[in-house]
Amino acid sequence: MSDELRELYQEVILDHSKNPRNKGFPPGCNRSADGHNPLCGDKIKLKLVLEGAGERANVSAIGFEGSGCAISQAAASTMTEAIKGKSKEEIHQLFTRFHDLVTGHYEQDLESLGKLAVFAGVSEFPMRVKCASLPWHTLQAALAGDGEPVTTE
Ligand code: ZN
């Protein structure tokens, strides 16, 4: 990764951690989950509106509350932007790609990942992978609807 790209990515992460999108909960939420990354102290609470049934059910609205490091909060912010309006199936595919990205497999089409691509640099810091993926694991739990708090441990 070039230094320029790295700087750009860091700027986006800082922007999202300072000015998080979709902070607070939209009305009519029917799914929620809590996530915790004890290694770093990151906490995320997600609430969303799931419409429809099965794999084609889609997330029509989502919001979060959280505290923790810049990476975890920026990951939650960019994730909520990226998945709004998407089906469970699409979200699952996106999560797989995001997970590949933060674990160092970025021989994929970064442009189609949009802002999620800014987490490519995280793969160089194994401790941070859990920070970046916490919101995604929390989302999986919310979509599964089992209501159990998730932890990265
Ligand atoms: Zn963290």
Domains of the chain by residue range: 3-144
pLDDT for residue 2: 82
Identify the residue with better confidence: 63 or 107. Answer: 63
Distance 145 CA to ligand 1 centre (A): 24
Distance 56 CA to ligand 1 centre (A): 32
**Residue 22 near residue 3, CB atoms below 8 Å:** no
Distance 34 CA to ligand 1 centre (A): 15
Distance 89 CA to ligand 1 centre (A): 27
Average pLDDT, the chain: 92
Question: What are all long-range contacts of 97-103, with beta carbons under 8 Å and residues at least 24 apart?
Answer: 98/132, 98/133, 98/136, 99/133, 99/136, 102/129, 102/132, 102/133, 103/129
Protein residues placing their CB within 5 Å of the ion ligand 1:
40, 42, 68-69, 72, 131
Distance 4 CA to ligand 1 centre (A): 24
User: How many Å apart are CA 141 and CA 79, to the nearest integer?
Assistant: 14
Distance 55 CA to ligand 1 centre (A): 30
pLDDT for residue 149: 65
Distances (CA, A) of 108 to 8, 59, 112, 118: 19, 25, 9, 13
Identify the residue with better confidence: 74 or 123. Answer: 74
Q: Which fold, 3-144?
A: Sufe protein. Chain: A (3.90.1010)
Does residue 153 register a pLDDT over 80? Answer: no
For 153, counting Cβ atoms within 10 Å of its Cβ (0-12 exposed, 13-18 middle, 19+ buried), the class is: exposed
User: How many Å apart are CA 143 and CA 115, to the nearest integer?
Assistant: 22
Tokens linked to 20: 């998080």
Residues 124-143, mean pLDDT to the nearest whole number: 94
Predicted structure pTM score: 0.92
Is the CA virtual torsion 140, 144, 145, 150 positive or negative? negative
Helix (H, G, I), strand (E, B), or coil: what is residue 102? helix
Quick: pLDDT tens for 85-123: 999 999 999 999 999 999 988 777 788 888 999 999 898
pLDDT for residue 111: 82
